[in-house]
Amino acid sequence: MHGPGSSGWLLVALCAATGAYCLLRMRSSVEEQRRAAGGEALMGFGMAAMAVPAAVFTPPAWAWPLWAAVFGAAGLHALWAARVSAGHLHHVVGAGAMVYMAVVMAAAPRGAHHGGAGIPALTAALLLYFTAYVLVTGARLVPVPALAGGPGVGPRTGSGTGWGDRPELARACRLSMGIAMVAMLLTM
């Protein structure tokens, strides 16, 4: 969050690209995938906005409480969706982390946008969670060799599966947002 210029712009690009891909995933024919993609697009674009270097743009004081409210609502929506699918609990944690970062930024003195802000124990807990999430998600992306005599692992062909319905791409999207969240929490 408002770290050095080059790393801030890399985070902006990563999160904006992830948010854009999540918008593409919203075209899926599977309703559950569309819902998850919408929340992830909001998260990606919100993280991109938070990562803009402070030297370029410092949001007005009213922006931080607004972001906290938006991500608080997103967290409540994810919590409601979690009653059907436990996969939404990660979205609850992500939205909670965004609310936490927005509240910390709102409470910080004007111009002091990083370093030593927040509650160290909560920041550490969020860092541990997202680091574990990144490691587990990254491990799931590693291809598993095909069993002898079984069907090979290869690219999908002709099944009508579009960009929005590729689970490995959705997982890579979540992985990149997890990495960005770790980077943002490290600057607090």
Judge whether 170 and 91 are in contact, CB under 8 Å. Answer: no
The angle formed by the CA atoms of residues 102, 107 and 110, to the nearest 5 degrees, is 100
Question: CA dist 15 to 125, 143, 177, Å?
Answer: 22, 25, 7
Question: Chain centroid to CA 66: how far?
Answer: 18
Q: Which pLDDT tens digit goes with each residue over 70-119?
A: 999 999 999 998 898 888 899 999 999 999 999 998 888 765 555 567 89
Q: Is the pTM of this model over 0.85?
A: no
Reported confidence tier of residue 152, pLDDT bands at 50, 70, 90: very low
